[in-house]
Amino acid sequence: MFNLEYQKRLLRQQNISSGSSYQDENLSSPRREAFTSPRTLQSPTSFTPQHISENKSVDDTSSIPTYSLSPLSAKSQKLLRSPRKATRKISRIPFKVLDAPELQDDFYLNLVDWSSQNVLSVGLGSCVYLWSACTSQVTRLCDLSGDANSVTSVAWNERGNLVAVGTHHGYVQVWDVSMNKQVNKMMGHSARVGALAWNSDILSSGSRDRLILQRDVRTPSIVPERKLVGHRQEVCGLKWSPDNTCLASGGNDNRLYVWNMHSLSPIQTYTEHLAAVKAIAWSPHQHGLLASGGGTADRCIRFWNTLTGQAMQCVDTGSQVCNLAWSKHSSELVSTHGYSQNQILVWKYPSLTQVAKLTGHSYRVLYLAMAPDGEAIVTGAGDETLRFWNVFSKARSQKAGFSMSEVTASVENENDQQELQNCMNEAALNNRNAEEYINIDNNVQLDQTQWILMP
């Protein structure tokens, strides 16, 4: 007698033993699981070889039924089941606000810096003030009003015991904060000094006179150690690479130069920006990777491989780029902006997806500094406020670094991320089940603090 049930079981066993993708229709399909347990949806981080079994390719769909009633493609179903990282929350509210009277609304100046000893230096009018992040105590370091002068830049050395002060009259002062004493005064510039950068005991200064001077602060002398000539207009951005071998400079001539310690001529010249280049940042994760941002007529953040001179990536931010800073712990960076949105943006690199958009300043966000722990930043604007934000996670990413070749591969990964989003839209999932980058913490209390002027 023909046993129908026996034949069905036999057919299923044969399909399983032969590697067939047949599944019982009574089993939950991936589409049904997506609707019944939407919060278990996980998105891929990256499709790299270590995430793939040796016996399966990236496009392996052996786990997907050959005949499926799901409207999703096999690739879409695979993406929906892929694991994702835990969501990182970024508050849109600053955790502290300080009044900063006389903080200048001047794009070409650099008036805020945060030391390795957790002390903030701020140039306000003719004075430099120090604010301790540990005690919230404010002290006045110096006052240039007697010389009818004003502060145009400040910068801490790596140890956090010396702060350099650039002035409108063109000289640079070096102060020992532990003794509250000026230890050096450097002449040489004929116009205001708007940019400063330390390399151990070597101090680089950039001026409206178009020169970059490099001097050893241990040897007081009016003769500069090195004079770098190249910019045709004011130098407004200076940054040394993490290994202290290369100096990047940006100017109002829309040019970005890279210099080394062995030559008086730039080793790299970049002319792609269409406006002043003040925002400069070296990646701490990839040797030779440099980011730069252009002014109002440009609005772009560009990335460069300074080892080869290659232009790598570019993103139009829609507004003037004032500052850039990389996270110390992950492949992310923050940018601050002026006209027309006055926003703060956090980006993932190399995908260049926007992680967060923070607003609050009513003027251009001209100043940016990062806390020594690498988590918090402070921003300053012409609205005469300093705002403190928690934007980066201290936990180091398992893969904070990346190779230059991964930049190209990331574009493909970004397409996979877009495919994932399309899948979630296809499945009509609630937006709350998608990955949320921004979560407002309603418990954050705004700490409005005024500067206490102390001699």
- Rounded to whole angstroms, the Cα distance separating 142 from 123 reads 10
All structural domains of the chain: 109-320 (2.130.10.10)
Instruction: Name 246's Cβ contacts closer than 8 Å, sequence gap at least 6.
Output: 240, 258, 259, 260, 267, 306
Q: Are 59 and 75 in contact (CB under 8 A)?
A: yes
The whole-number pLDDT of residue 223 equals 67
pLDDT digits (tens, 9 = 90+) for 322-356: 999 999 999 999 999 998 889 999 999 999 999 99
pLDDT digits (tens, 9 = 90+) for 119-161: 999 999 999 999 999 999 999 999 999 889 999 999 999 999 9
Instruction: Name 392's Cβ contacts closer than 8 Å, sequence gap at least 6.
Output: 327, 328, 329, 330, 332, 334, 346, 374, 375, 376, 377
Per DSSP, the residues of 228-240 read EE--SS-EEEEEE
Q: Are 191 and 153 in contact (CB under 8 A)?
A: no
pLDDT digits (tens, 9 = 90+) for 26-38: 333 333 232 222 3
pLDDT digits (tens, 9 = 90+) for 291-316: 999 999 999 999 999 999 999 999 99
Here the tokens at position 339 are 């006209």
For the chain, what is the mean pLDDT?
Answer: 80
Give the mean model confidence (pLDDT) for residues 272-297. 98
